Structures are given as C-alpha cells and as structure tokens.
A and B are shown apart, each in its own frame.
Chain A
Amino acid sequence: MKSNETAPKNNDTEQSGPPLFATWQSWYALLVLVLSVLVALFYVLTRYYS
C-alpha cells in the first residue's frame, strides 16, 4: 500500500510569489548579501580590536 495516509491539502501548494521582491532569487541574494556583510564586519572587528 502506498501511503494511504496522505494529509489533507494545504491552503496552497503552488509556487506562490514572494512579497516585496519580484522573484525568490532576490530574497536568496539578500540572504547571501547580509551574510557577506556580516562576515566582513566581523573580520574588521577581529582585526581592529586585536
């Protein structure tokens, strides 16, 4: 028997569009950008106060 316990459906299973930006790729780019900025700031902090 193949998974007869399929759950009731979610409200939507579609590729919903993201808020604020036109594409999800923009959100992912923002994540990478924020991480890069944080690492750069941490590096400056490490170097400046050591």
Chain B
Amino acid sequence: MSPIDWIVLLGTLAFIAAYGVWKTRGSQNLEGYLRGNNDAKWWGIGISIMATQASAITFLSTPGQAYFDGMRFVQFYFGLPIAMIILSVTFIPIYYKLKVFTAYEFLEQRFDLKTRSLASILFLVQRGLAVGITIYAPSIILSTLLGWPLGLTNLLIGALVIVYTVSGGTKAVTQTQKQQMAVMMGGMVIAGILVIAWLPEKMGFGDALHVAGKMGKLNVVNFEFDLNDRYNFWSGITAALFLFMSYFGTDQSQVQRYLSGRSIAESRLGLIMNGLLKVPMQFVILFIGVMVFVFFQFNQPPVFFNKTALEKVEQSANEEDKEELERLKRQYTHVFEEKKYHLEELIKATRTEDQSEVDRLRTEVNTLQERSEEVREEVKGLVLKTDPNAEDNDKDYVFMTFVMNYLPTGLVGLLFAVIFSAAMSSTASELNALATTTTIDLYRRSIRKNENEQHYVSSSRWFTFLWGILAILFATYASLFENLIQAVNYLGSLFYGTILGIFIVAFYIKRIGANAVFFGAILAELLVIGLDQANGAGIAPEWLQVGYLWYNVIGCGLVVFFGLLLQPFFDKPQQATILEKNEKSHPD
C-alpha cells in the first residue's frame, strides 16, 4: 500500500475511536453506560443492529462466495424481515414492560434464577469464544495481505475497540457504528461502481449481466425444496427465520442495541429498518462479487488468490513442484484466453438474439470454466503439498485481490478501513454485551448484590476490558486450535435453537413452568448434539440428514415438546403469573 493508503486507513480508524471516546466523555450512571440513557433514535438503532451483524467476514467472504457460488446466498436472509415483525410484536413490548438490561433477566421473571443463569452462561461461553473469532477471522486474512504479524493485527483491532467501548459503553458503541457503517457502505458502493465502470469498453452493463447469468452466477432464487440444500427459498424463509429470531431476539449483543431506544416505537422502527435494508444490502455485496467475477473473465486473475501461499510454492526448494506450477499457470492462461474469446462471441450472439449460437457458446464457456477450476484444484494440491497447514480455500482473498491490484491510491486504504471498521463494529457490540451480561446476570445478581451504582459502572468497565483482553488472546492463539474454531462455529448453530425454544415457551406457553423448560432444554440440547454427531459420522437415517440451519428449528421444537411432556410431572408454574402481575402494576 502507498503512504496515502496508510494515512487513509489509520486516519479513519483513529478518528472513529477518538470520536467515540470524545462523544461519550464524562461520568455515567449504570443506565447511561449499559443502555445509553435510552436516547437512541430509530435510525441509530437500525444502523447499530446492521453494523453489529455485519462483521469483517461479511465484506471479505460474501463477494468471494458470489464469485464461486453465485448469488443464492441472499436467500439465507429472506427470513429476516419476518423475524423483525415477530420480534416487534412480541419480544420488544415485554422487554420494555419489564425494564430489563438483558434478555436473560426476563427469564428469571418468567421462570426462575437457574433458567436465567443457564441462558446467560450459554451466551457468555458461546459469544465469549465467538468474539475471538470475530477478530481472528479477518486478522488472518488482513495480516496475509498487509504482510503484518497476526498478533499486531489482532492487537490493532482489539485495542482500538477496547479504548472506546470501555470508555463510553453502549453509547460509544452506537456512536462509532454510525461512522463505521458510513465507511462500510461508502467503500463498497465506490468499489461496486468502479468494477462496473472498468468492464471492457465495448461491454455494457446488460452484457455483464448476460455473462454472469449464462455462467450460473445470477442464481438468486431457487424454489426447489431440498433439506440438504443450505440456501434455497424455503430454508431461508423457515430455518433461517428461527436463526434470526434467536439471534435478534435472545442474543444480548443485538438485544442491547434496541433496548437503548427512546421508546418502543423507536426500537420497532430500528428493527423494521433492518428488515427493509438487510436483503438489499446483502444483494448489493453479492452483486459486487459477481461483477468482480465478470471483471476477471476479461482481466486474467491469479491462478490462486492467496498470494502468500502461492509464493511459498514459487520459492519451494522442490524444482519439480516449481516446474509443475509454471506449467499449470501456462495452462490457466491458455484456458483464460480461449474462454475470453468465446465470451466475446457469446455477447455478440446475445445481442443478435441468435438462441442456438447462445446455447452452443454457453456450453463451451462453462466447459472452459470447469477446466479452469480443474487447473486451480491442481494448484491447490501443490499449495497443500508445500505447506500442509495452508488454507486451500482462497475465496476470502478474491475481493481484496481486486482492491489491491486495481483500485487507485487512497481507495485501497479506504477499502481496508471498511474491513477493519466491520471487525470493530461487531467486536464492540459483543464486548459490550458480554460485560453487561456478566455484570447484570451474574455479578450483581449472584455475587455482589448490594453495591452502589458507581461500583457496578466500574465493574462493567473492568468486565469490558477483561473480555477484550480475552478476545485478543484467543484471536492470537486461535491458529493453534483449528478444531476449536470449528467447534465454536458449531456451538453457535447448535445452541441457538434451544435458547430460542426457552424464550418461545416463556412468551407463548404460559402453562409450562421453570422446571419443565429447564430439563426440557437440557434434553433438547443433548438430542441436537446427538443428531449433529450422527450426521457427522454418517449414521443418521436419511430423513434426519439435514443442513445445520435446521438445527435451529429442531432445537426450538424439541424444547417446546419436552416442556409440554414434562410439565405434568412438576408443580404448576407460579412464575407464569409474574408477567400478568407486572401488567397490572404498570397500567398503560
């Protein structure tokens, strides 16, 4: 990167962190520190919700996903607007009515302390590990691209976030997310405009769409029902709906965002804004990936996008491997030139509406694309032979390869700022939520019950700091625990269904009490884990071989089922009346 890019990158990050500290300076009470004095407006809430969900991997991986797999990933988000409606109707009014700091407080009022503690500890374990990954995942890519040590990249992201999150709490998180979202959207829109503008001179936007479509990249919607297909209309509108209800309704890193609203109306509008904008936003990011794909059909891409891994083969002591790589590169170039020629012919045939020629050329182009992928597979084999620990999936490097090789000076720095901003915005929300849950659900509830307000503010700051240090440490040593990373990713999908099930029972099935839901949740969780293990070992019956998204539905359904089944064996629920009592004591 040039000095101007460094100034843009470091200047942007330093400004955002300093702004967060300055804007929230001065002493705060617990209400101010954890809920931002409830003065957030709907658009601030909406931005904060979107910035929390949009991690660095969203901007690194999503265009690469579209590059190789097309646009079908957008269907994953179809359940999100429906989830926003359900949360607006049911969850938000109850959270406001009970005046909670955390989602888990509600569970004690509805059930008992053990259910609240179970849910909050599950959240802390899951999110505590995940925040390390939120830093590690982009750091490993950014450090490769920038040539930095991994530890330094982790430290830069973590330290900046800790500074303003410890200092200003929830308000600092919300304030900085506005700037971060502006950088993210601005950077992506500019990159999208430039990739389209830099397509070959004689090629129009419509031609680019035809090229993408004929090569199978504009596969946005698929109505075929297939339980094993992770991304189709039906899995998006059902299984992902459960995931989003759980994530936005019960994960404190999101709940805390809309609990900082001025009123129910502002919080609802924030969620509705998220529901209206999320699908178009993901569409645009994926579409940029598809346009990068079209761009690289006319400008030869590297045979492998992870330059550092490829350089290891080029500098290998094994002469045979080096010669083999050179041979594969020549073959790749030859296939590229041939494919480019056929694509130009395909565009001409499309313009003249010669359908038989279009069909012939489409088959030809896609055959060449397959050959191109076969060459890449052979190169991946060489990369792994040279370094068995190398990452052979290079999709996360596609977009930044385009950025670094083709964008002008200044914009490269801005696009790196997009990735860092996304990492920081998610990390800040997560640290903020971890500290809030630790303070409110464990420390103040069960450890130090009767301290003054300032003590709890100070504790919250310390817990934010400690979770931040833990996150940096985990991110730094994460590469030693590849299996642990996979386990963390699994944990998220395995636990969300059960947690949602507890909340669904709490909200909708008043005849199920604390003990039935507690033991029902434990049974449900064991069954979901058992199902996952059976699927992994290939011993599950065919009708149970489902994609991981469906675990959310299964886990949730099992909690309800076991709750109903076990309830006759326990006393009638007394806690269920607390909501009714609360309604009577707070007449609206």
Residues of A within 8 A of B (CB): 1-19, 24, 27-28, 30-32, 34-35, 38-39, 42-43, 45-46, 48-50
Contacts and interface: CB of A to CB of B under 8 A. Distances in A.
B264 A16 contact: yes
B196 interface: no
Contacts of B578: 2
A19 B38 CA distance: 19
Contacts of A6: 98-99
A11 B588 contact: no
A18 B269 contact: yes
A49 B214 contact: yes
B262 interface: yes
Contacts of B219: 46, 50
A15 B93 contact: yes
Given A5-B101, A13-B264, A27-B269, 15 more contacts: A5-B444, A7-B100, A8-B31, A9-B99, A11-B263, A18-B268, A24-B89, A31-B84, A31-B85, A38-B283, A45-B218, A46-B221, A48-B213, A49-B214, A50-B218
Contacts of B280: 38
B233 A39 contact: yes
Which 4 A-B pairs have CB atoms at the shortest separation, nearest pair first?
A: A49-B213, A16-B265, A42-B220, A12-B263
Contact of A17 (B108, B222, B265, B449): B265
Contacts of A18: 265, 268-269
Which of A12, A18, A19, A49 has the most chain B CB within a 10 Å cutoff?
Answer: A49
A8 B219 CA distance: 50
Contacts of A50: 213-214, 216, 218-219
Interface stretch (B17-25, B140-148, B247-255, B271-279): B271-279
A25 B29 CA distance: 36
Contacts of A5: 101, 105, 440, 444-445
B109 interface: yes
B305 interface: no
Contact of A24 (B82, B268, B275): B268
B287 to A, nearest CB: 10
Interface in B54-93: 74, 78, 81-82, 84-85, 88-89, 93
